[in-house]
Amino acid sequence: MQAARIVKINEPLEIQELSIPKPRGSQVLIKVQSSGVCHSDIHLWEGGYEGVGGQLIKTTDRGVKYPLTPGHEVAGFVENVGEDVEGFAKNEKVLVFPWIGEGACPACRVGEENLCDKPRSLGVYNEGGYAEYLLVPSYKYLVKLGDLDTDTSAPLSCSALTAYGAVKNARLNPNDNVVVVGAGGLGLMAMQLAKATTGSKIIAMDIDDGKLQIAKQNGADFIINSKKEDPIKAVKELTDNFGADAVLDFVNASKTVETDMQMLRRRAKVVLVGLFGGALQLNLVTMPTRAYQIIGSYTGSMNDLVELVSLARRDVIKPIISNRFKLEQATEALQMLKNGKVIGRAIINP
Amino acid sequence: MQAARIVKINEPLEIQELSIPKPRGSQVLIKVQSSGVCHSDIHLWEGGYEGVGGQLIKTTDRGVKYPLTPGHEVAGFVENVGEDVEGFAKNEKVLVFPWIGEGACPACRVGEENLCDKPRSLGVYNEGGYAEYLLVPSYKYLVKLGDLDTDTSAPLSCSALTAYGAVKNARLNPNDNVVVVGAGGLGLMAMQLAKATTGSKIIAMDIDDGKLQIAKQNGADFIINSKKEDPIKAVKELTDNFGADAVLDFVNASKTVETDMQMLRRRAKVVLVGLFGGALQLNLVTMPTRAYQIIGSYTGSMNDLVELVSLARRDVIKPIISNRFKLEQATEALQMLKNGKVIGRAIINP
Amino acid sequence: MQAARIVKINEPLEIQELSIPKPRGSQVLIKVQSSGVCHSDIHLWEGGYEGVGGQLIKTTDRGVKYPLTPGHEVAGFVENVGEDVEGFAKNEKVLVFPWIGEGACPACRVGEENLCDKPRSLGVYNEGGYAEYLLVPSYKYLVKLGDLDTDTSAPLSCSALTAYGAVKNARLNPNDNVVVVGAGGLGLMAMQLAKATTGSKIIAMDIDDGKLQIAKQNGADFIINSKKEDPIKAVKELTDNFGADAVLDFVNASKTVETDMQMLRRRAKVVLVGLFGGALQLNLVTMPTRAYQIIGSYTGSMNDLVELVSLARRDVIKPIISNRFKLEQATEALQMLKNGKVIGRAIINP
Amino acid sequence: MQAARIVKINEPLEIQELSIPKPRGSQVLIKVQSSGVCHSDIHLWEGGYEGVGGQLIKTTDRGVKYPLTPGHEVAGFVENVGEDVEGFAKNEKVLVFPWIGEGACPACRVGEENLCDKPRSLGVYNEGGYAEYLLVPSYKYLVKLGDLDTDTSAPLSCSALTAYGAVKNARLNPNDNVVVVGAGGLGLMAMQLAKATTGSKIIAMDIDDGKLQIAKQNGADFIINSKKEDPIKAVKELTDNFGADAVLDFVNASKTVETDMQMLRRRAKVVLVGLFGGALQLNLVTMPTRAYQIIGSYTGSMNDLVELVSLARRDVIKPIISNRFKLEQATEALQMLKNGKVIGRAIINP
């Protein structure tokens, strides 16, 4: 089978010919139809991301090994199953949960494998979906798609799941004012999900008027262009001068979080999601006196993914797909995403 | 009646003669027996505390008005009641909940008046207990003490309540490793409370061997002198190299929190309680990838205080009282506390 | 002022001339515009409701005293305020929270006054809103209505609040199948609320095809006429033979709950809301082996009401008003409701 | 290897010679040292338990197949491992979590395999530990015992786990009054656990003065002999006439639950655990008006078991072992338990 692999950092991905894995035990072999292209794939390609003081946090220091087939947003058909697999037969259309854990750590024990101590995520620590076939360690990590098509479903397993995890971590109530920072793919999905599952009041924040208009169609009650107006003043005005009850920051850069911290109501939660990086000068006394919470949010659980697919099958949420690529165009897809030229989600169809 | 009041910042408190308030409606007048002396009284006396970059956060900017009678840890006897008071008669021995809110904000609506948008705390925004009598706005803010004496009970309403709020915010489970930073009055109480209500494994951290020995008697399973050994390495060794599941930082200074952030297991909670101040360089990417939570914790609710008194009445927890002062010694009491010469809690007996 | 009062059980309400109360302290006098007519007003009128074995549970045994002005769903304008009232001035349009507690019990302490040990609900234990004016004990129990009109808002404080409390008690997730038993006023509101705040899959059950059609417009994904088809079989078919994850029973009669218990998935929650009464033969062993939960749900909290008004102001939920009466028609309104001739909600406009 | 198996209902267990299983994949073979004898083993032996109206609920209708090797409380040493096993080597002393699910249902997805839709529990639906060797489906179901011995540890996986699940389901706070009905093995363990992890006030209820004395040593603050005094009146007296905040019923018979329902404070939770059986006439209207919750509690999760072992390793809880049997005495052990002659827990040592 063919796979697009990162062999050397920052160099074009190589199309390599690999042998097709044979599933045993609970394993399932998937014939990949759609593989989403994610910002974190760029970090894998570049070999790291920015930490405090501009310093690079290396992927290899976090356990990533090259050559690596990236791709953790994978939908396709069951091709073959191990002898212990139940409930899944050849040609079943499925979505793959990629955030697999080692199974026995405290997070795994309560079904939060995405937060495992020793993660084995597909397309990160194990071979991923930029390939014709993908070996999944157990049928437990598959969700049946029914009528949903694979292209729009693939991003549910990372892009939408990360947005959903953030919405859940904010524990929103119907009268809460929540600011969503960044009206890109994740932010828009977070707005759809907050609208569909919490009843809260949504304030979209971005520097692009076009994206903010799309935000309005995706559930935002209010929009703020933080380039054109003072975002802190704008949030205060929308909230009777109290500030936001929650901020979901899908950028998570020094500048956005610094602003976030100034638009908060007492008791507010700041949910940090993006991987842009950098550092924040955190005022320590303010944390207890204002009773703030800063919550790091990382993807979501298998159970969250089942809920997402349930919402998508009823058209409650709608992922937005914009660009489609062939396997041999994988480098091109990553480059376009890196250059900010992808609106919605890019998909590779091997 | 006599009251010890802060009239000018940093100058000795003045003993003033004030008229005894007359309770109406739901109000209750308390004859003060015991009034705890708290670190935050020093902030009121000094007119502020340290924010980012050494800059002073002024108490007057947060709504404090002088002259002020401090004192928010108050126990005594009911002296007189308003016409709507129920269930409390003259001479009932009571503890006062001082963290009173305006009643109608989102926090007050769910009984978390300590986190009110417009707080009216006794001894901070309203006259407090460094006085012979204290007017309490409603009998709802009183807890009956039964056999408990007023001296040991007074610190329950702030010192112990703050410790309890922190323990609750950490949401500890029996197999969690929790590091308690600072084995002073609050830290020791947090250890007692974590032991009595969570079953978690407690690691006490301080720079004073004497305090660490007392920690052992108050519930600590392990102790670390962070001056003598590398605290990060020590925590890793006690936790199979995983790190702590939670840290309760009762100092909350730049240096302690910087260390806290390096001893964490994935998914860990850092509960910031102390008001020492300063700033932290927070690595933003680490928040989502490691799924950390930083939680500001500010005192506790009326319901928490009822639970604390219930535990104290059964001897499950035991506040430690060390020094007793008369009303006219209020300045001396504050000065001793400021100089670090109070072990346990100082009490003023008007 | 005029008030329609229950003087003798089961006899026509009397229109009496009473003096207008004068608010003091935190009290507020409301000029009543709209007062909802609720099924529980019929229980007050009849002097009780049915317990086990057809035996009457008397309202007087539960602390109700006659003569009584019923009416706990009240919206109107502020007419006059006590000297301690803040944030509310004459002519402010408001909704009244009627489920007032004594303030110091464990439920009141966490803002759940609706579950108070010694309730003082308006229109039940204290004078209610079938009158020109209503005295409310504190401005804390008022919610500003803004653009909402009083007729559609009045039922939010009981009918909608009870539905909302039930939805919250079921703790629904997006992939849950929830059966709503009874597509009357409360059931329809529960469907709207479950749709707007949980994303779950809603199965409406009733014996009236007309109501079931309205259910479809109010958020039901599926409908079952339990008179025409076997409800247990129908639920099983809609849930891959697993059964429902939750049942909200707005009838709560022997027959409906007996059926409820047979349509449950393991781990299911049965939320009992209605006051129809009777008894259930509960199979005890099944409770642990199937891990069922039976949850009694009684109205909702002040905080819930604020959330409801927030949802209503954004048109996310829409109460349905059907009949309007004058104060002197109060008996007629109760009789029509008793005879099942009210679709939606009847309102008295004094 | 030898195994004591139920071949025919109610007839003596047969000692059969079976081949030793060979672990593959994630499977682990355990050399059994200690196998607890549980009341539910008697139900397996008798072929069922009592439902409503004295009717037998058959084990075969719930999916049990005979011949069956019972035994779900198993501790021993790792004998052999499959090729995918990590972190466990030969001779490691371990406790087995027996409440295994099929892995992909909603309960399994969040780590609550004990509540699985299609359970595969060891010693119930699969071969258990009344044998020399036990095959465990995955190393994920093992907990390392360290210094704990296998005899006292074995009951942690059912007896203690069931008690712990009940305590958790009651969600106790430090000021709650909790009644524990039945001071047998599970009840005593529940008292130890409530004491160690909640700080609540514990009222032990039984008909045996001897057991009640042991209850006092295991954490009970108060004891009630429900044969000698009116249990309802006694609970009211201990609770200022309010009633209990929670009842944990480890008998769960018609008579005990009928009494439970009369000793409740508003908002109380009744946790049903025992499998004694029978039916309750449940007063339906009381459920909403009093806001009661009836919660069925079934064993506990793998994560709960890890917490239990953590508590046991620190001597916070101490299971009580009373009788030891050889494998060929299995029938005798069951008979003694059935006759009520086992105080604490009986263990089979194969």
Q: pLDDT category, B345, cuts 50, 70, 90? A: confident
Nearest Cα neighbor of A150 from A316, A327, A309 is A309
Note whether A316 contacts C: Cβ–Cβ < 8 A. Answer: yes
Q: pLDDT category, D343, cuts 50, 70, 90? A: confident
CA-CA distance, C204 to B201, in Å (whole number)? 48
CB < 8 Å to D197, chain B: 174, 197-199
Q: pLDDT category, C45, cuts 50, 70, 90? A: very high
The CATH code belonging to domain C160-296 is 3.40.50.720
Q: What is the mean pLDDT of chain C?
A: 95
Mind spelling out the 3-state secondary structure of chain C? CEEEEECCCCCCCEEEECCCCCCCCCCEEEEEEEEEECHHHHHHHHCEEECHHHCEEECHHHCCCCCECCCCEEEEEEEEECCCCCCCCCCCEEEECCCCCCCCCHHHHCCCHHHCCCCCCECCCECCCCECEEEECCHHHEEECCCCCHHHHHHHHCHHHHHHHHHHHCCCCCCCEEEEECCCHHHHHHHHHHHHHCCCEEEEEECCHHHHHHHHHCCCCEEEECCCCCHHHHHHHHCCCCCEEEEEECCCEHHHHHHHCCCEEEEEEEEECCCCECEEEEECCHHHHHCCEEEECCCCCHHHHHHHHHHHHCCCCCCCEEEEEEHHHHHHHHHHHHCCCCCCEEEEEC
Say if CB A162 and CB A300 are below 8 A apart. Answer: yes
Instruction: Report the C-alpha dihedral over residues B253, B254, B260, B263, rounded to 10 degrees.
Output: -150
Using the predicted structure, report yes or no on whether residue B320 has a pLDDT greater than 90.
Answer: no
Peptide bond into B174 cis (omega under 30): no
Where in chain C do CATH 3.90.180.10 domains reside?
Answer: 2-158+300-348
Distance from CA of C273 to the nearest CA of B (A): 23
> What integer is the mean pLDDT of A22-47?
96
Chain segment C298-326, per-residue pLDDT in tens = 999 999 999 999 999 999 999 888 789 99
Report helix, strand or coil for D232: helix
Q: Are strands C2-5 and B345-349 parallel, antiparallel or unpaired?
A: unpaired
CA-CA distance, B57 to B51, in Å (whole number)? 6
pLDDT score, position A321: 80
Between CA B177 and CA A111, with CA D159 as vertex, the angle to 5 degrees is 50
Chains that touch A (3 or more CB pairs under 8 A): B, C, D
pLDDT score, position A176: 98
Tell me what percent of the residues of chain C surpass a pLDDT of 70.
99
Nearest Cα neighbor of D305 from D293, D319, D292, D290 is D319
CB < 8 Å to B51, chain A: 283, 285-286
φ/ψ of residue C118, rounded to 5? -130, 75
User: D237: Cβ–Cβ under 8 A, 6 or more apart, which residues?
Assistant: none
pLDDT score, position A120: 96
Using the predicted structure, report yes or no on whether residue C275 has a pLDDT greater than 90.
Answer: no
**Would you put residue A290 in left (φ > 0), alpha (ψ -120 to 50) or beta?**
alpha
A314/C221 touch (CB, cutoff 8 Å), yes or no: yes
Between CA C156 and CA C162, with CA C159 as vertex, the angle to 5 degrees is 100
Distance from CA of D110 to the nearest CA of C (A): 13
pLDDT score, position A324: 95
Chain segment C54-97, per-residue pLDDT in tens = 778 899 998 999 999 999 999 999 999 999 999 999 999 999 99
Reported as half-sphere exposure (CB side, CA atoms, 13 A), residue C235 has a value of 28
Q: Which residue of A has its CA nearest to D108?
A: A111
A51/B285 touch (CB, cutoff 8 Å), yes or no: yes
Residue B34 Cα distances to A191, B21, B151, C178, angstroms: 52, 19, 5, 55
**Could you say which of A52, A281, A288 has the minimum Cβ distance to residue B252?**
A288
CA-CA distance, A17 to A223, in Å (whole number)? 48
Chain segment A178-227, per-residue pLDDT in tens = 999 999 889 999 999 999 999 999 999 999 999 999 999 999 999 999 99
Note whether D292 contacts C: Cβ–Cβ < 8 A. Answer: yes
> What integer is the mean pLDDT of C179-188?
94
Q: Which amino acid type is present at position A3?
A: A
CA-CA distance, A297 to A300, in Å (whole number)? 8
Report helix, strand or coil for D291: coil
Chain segment A138-169, per-residue pLDDT in tens = 999 999 999 999 999 999 999 999 999 999 99
CB < 8 Å to C272, chain D: 284, 287-288
B199/D316 touch (CB, cutoff 8 Å), yes or no: yes
Structure-token pair, residue A102: 């080692």
The count of CB pairs under 8 A between chains B and D is: 43
Reported as half-sphere exposure (CB side, CA atoms, 13 A), residue A215 has a value of 28
Chain segment C319-340, per-residue pLDDT in tens = 888 789 999 999 999 999 999 8
Report helix, strand or coil for D228: coil
> What integer is the mean pLDDT of B106-127?
97
Between CA A60 and CA A65, with CA A61 as vertex, the angle to 5 degrees is 25
> What integer is the mean pLDDT of B304-327?
93
Q: Which amino acid type is present at position D20?
A: I
Using the predicted structure, report yes or no on whether residue A50 has a pLDDT greater than 80.
Answer: no
φ/ψ of residue C39, rounded to 5? -55, -35
Q: Are strands B177-181 and B201-206 parallel, antiparallel or unpaired?
A: parallel
CA-CA distance, A10 to A7, in Å (whole number)? 9
**Cα R_g (chain C), whole angstroms:** 20
Using the predicted structure, report yes or no on whether residue A343 has a pLDDT greater than 80.
Answer: no
**Could you say which of B175, B196, B314 has the minimum Cβ distance to residue D307?**
B175
Note whether A12 contacts B: Cβ–Cβ < 8 A. Answer: no
Where in chain C do CATH 3.40.50.720 domains reside?
Answer: 160-296
- Higher local confidence (pLDDT), C101 or B320: C101
CA-CA distance, D329 to D12, in Å (whole number)? 10
Chains that touch C (3 or more CB pairs under 8 A): A, B, D
Say if CB A81 and CB A24 are below 8 A apart. Answer: no
Nearest Cα neighbor of D204 from D250, D164, D252, D139 is D250
pLDDT score, position C119: 96
Nearest Cα neighbor of C269 from C286, C293, C239 is C293
A110/D111 touch (CB, cutoff 8 Å), yes or no: yes
pLDDT score, position C62: 87
- List B residues 28-57 in contact with D (Cβ-Cβ < 8 A): none
Reported as half-sphere exposure (CB side, CA atoms, 13 A), residue B111 has a value of 20
Q: What is the mean pLDDT of chain B?
A: 95
Q: pLDDT category, C137, cuts 50, 70, 90? A: very high
Tell me what percent of the residues of chain D surpass a pLDDT of 70.
99
H or E element that contains D16: strand D14-17
Q: Which residue of D has its CA nearest to A305?
A: D109
Angle of helix B185-197 relative to helix B209-217, nearest 10 degrees?
Answer: 30
CA-CA distance, D45 to A296, in Å (whole number)? 51
> What integer is the mean pLDDT of A269-274?
96
A310/C174 touch (CB, cutoff 8 Å), yes or no: yes
Using the predicted structure, report yes or no on whether residue D64 has a pLDDT greater than 80.
Answer: yes
**Could you say which of D24, D109, D140 has the minimum Cβ distance to residue A111?**
D109
Q: Which residue of C has its CA nearest to B303?
A: C109
CA-CA distance, B301 to B111, in Å (whole number)? 7
CA-CA distance, B150 to B35, in Å (whole number)? 9
Q: pLDDT category, A109, cuts 50, 70, 90? A: very high
The count of CB pairs under 8 A between chains A and D is: 47
Pick the residue of C310, C314, C318 with the most A CBs within 10 A to test the interface with A by mutation.
C310
Distance from CA of A16 to the nearest CA of D (A): 28
Structure-token pair, residue A269: 């939660």
Note whether B113 contacts A: Cβ–Cβ < 8 A. Answer: no
CB < 8 Å to B310, chain D: 174-175, 199, 201
Q: pLDDT category, C161, cuts 50, 70, 90? A: very high
CB < 8 Å to A310, chain C: 174-175, 199, 201
Chains that touch D (3 or more CB pairs under 8 A): A, B, C
CB < 8 Å to D102, chain A: 86
pLDDT score, position A197: 97
Q: pLDDT category, B77, cuts 50, 70, 90? A: very high
What is the CATH T-level fold of the domain C2-158+300-348, as seen in this structure?
Quinone Oxidoreductase; Chain A, domain 1 (3.90.180)
φ/ψ of residue C330, rounded to 5? -55, -45
Nearest Cα neighbor of D9 from D53, D63, D51, D59 is D59
D196/B199 touch (CB, cutoff 8 Å), yes or no: yes
Q: Which amino acid type is present at position C248?
A: L
- List D residues 180-239 in contact with C (Cβ-Cβ < 8 A): none
Nearest Cα neighbor of D25 from A68, C128, A25 is A25
**Could you say which of D272, D283, D297 has the minimum Cβ distance to residue C279?**
D283
Say how many C-beta atoms besides its own lie within 10 A of residue B228's C-beta: 10
Using the predicted structure, report yes or no on whether residue D232 has a pLDDT greater than 90.
Answer: yes
Using the predicted structure, report yes or no on whether residue D257 has a pLDDT greater than 90.
Answer: yes
Q: In the 8-state DSSP scheme, what is residue A155?
A: G
Note whether A173 contacts C: Cβ–Cβ < 8 A. Answer: yes
B111/C111 touch (CB, cutoff 8 Å), yes or no: yes
pLDDT score, position C49: 80
Residue B290 Cα distances to A33, A55, A99, C310, angstroms: 31, 18, 14, 36
CB < 8 Å to D109, chain C: none
CB < 8 Å to A294, chain B: 282, 287, 293-295
Chain segment A228-265, per-residue pLDDT in tens = 999 999 999 999 999 999 999 999 999 999 999 999 99
CA-CA distance, C242 to C237, in Å (whole number)? 8
Structure-token pair, residue A192: 């759809």
Chain segment D113-161, per-residue pLDDT in tens = 999 999 999 999 999 999 999 999 999 999 999 999 999 999 999 999 9
pLDDT score, position A90: 97
Q: Burial-class residue A11 by CB neighbours within 10 Å (0-12, 13-18, 19+).
A: exposed
Instruction: Name which of B167-171, B182-186, D9-13, D320-324 the model is least confident about.
Output: D320-324
Q: Are strands A93-96 and A142-144 parallel, antiparallel or unpaired?
A: antiparallel
Report helix, strand or coil for B141: helix
Using the predicted structure, report yes or no on whether residue A274 has a pLDDT greater than 90.
Answer: no
CA-CA distance, D234 to D265, in Å (whole number)? 14
Using the predicted structure, report yes or no on whether residue A54 has a pLDDT greater than 90.
Answer: no
Say how many C-beta atoms besides its own lie within 10 A of residue B107's C-beta: 22
Between CA C265 and CA C268, with CA C266 as vertex, the angle to 5 degrees is 70
Distance from CA of B38 to the nearest CA of A (A): 15
Tell me the residue length of chain B.
Answer: 350
Report helix, strand or coil for D180: strand
Q: pLDDT category, D274, cuts 50, 70, 90? A: confident
